[in-house]
Structure 1
Amino acid sequence: MAEVAKEYLSFLIDEDEYGVHILDVKEVRGWSEVRSLPNTASYMLGVLELRGEYIPIVDLRQRLGMTAAVLNNTTVVVIVKNEREQSLGIIVDAVAEVYQLTSEQIKSAPGYVKIDQKLIDGIASVNGRHVVLIHLEQLFDFQELHNVAQPDLSET
C-alpha cells in the first residue's frame, strides 16, 4: 500500500523556504496593526483580535535569530494552531506553495545546520528547492503565548 502524502504550506523568509503542516494552518491574512504588550519576548509583536479571540503575533525571523521583519502591506500573517486549538500568528514575507510530501521526501537536517534540531521536523527537496519544515510546538510555547495574549479579566 502506498504511503499517503501529507500537505505542507510553504512560505518565504528572505530567499529561504519554510513549511508547516497544512492541518496546523487556520488561515492566511494580510498584515494589520497589532496591539503591543509590555514585557514580552522581542519576537512577540503583540496581539490581534480575530473573531473575539486575542491571537499572539510573532516575528518568525526574530525567533529564528534573523533580523526583524519589515512590516508593510505585503507582509503576510499565517495563523496556525496547535493540537489544543490555541492560535498563533507568524509573520512571513510571502506564502509560496502547498506541497504534498511523503516521509521518504523529508530528511533529517544535517548536524552542522545552525538551527536547533528539535525545532524542525526535517528538510524536503522539492523542485530543486529545500524546504525547512518547522516544528511549531518546539519553536513556540503556545501555552505561554496564549496566556500573555489573553486579557486578565479578573482585574476588571
Structure 2
Amino acid sequence: MGFSPDGRTLAAAGESGTVRLWDVPTETVITTLVGYRYPVGSVAFSPDGRTLASAGRDSTVRLWDVATSRTIAILTGTTDPVVSVAFGSDGHSLSAALSSSSARLWSYTPLGEADVKVCKSVSRDLTSAERAMYLPARSSVSVCPG
C-alpha cells in the first residue's frame, strides 16, 4: 500500500492480482488495475506521482500510467517472485526485493512519442533482439505492453 506524493491517491495491492487506486478525500475507488494472474505484493509511486510500480509474484514489475490506468512497461529479468518495489529519488531507477532475499535494479525511461508510433506501426511488441538493437537502454523492458 502506498500514497501518491501529493497524498490524494492511495494504491492498494491485492491478493486477487489487482491494484486499486483510491481517491483519499472522497474515500472512493478511482480504478482497479488488472494484469496479474497472481497476487501483487507491493506498490510504489514515482516521485512525480505519474507512474505506479507494482510487484508481482509472477516475477515481474509492472509500471502503470496513473492518469490513464494503462500498463506502460513490464519489467522482467528475474525468475523469483517480486515482493517489494521502490523508486529512486530520480524517478528513473527502480529497485525490487525478491523472494530469494536478493534484489534487482532497473533503470527506466518512460515511453516517448517515438516508441508509441513504433508500437502502433508494428502492432506488436518488439522482440528482445529488436529492443537490444534499437533501444539498448531498455532491452529487458517490454516496449509495447497490451
Tell me which structure has the larger Cα radius of gyration: 1
Pick the structure with more helix per residue: 1
Q: TM-score range by the shorter chain?
A: 0.3 to 0.5
What is the TM-score with the length of structure 1 in the denominator? 0.31
What is the TM-score with the length of structure 2 in the denominator? 0.33
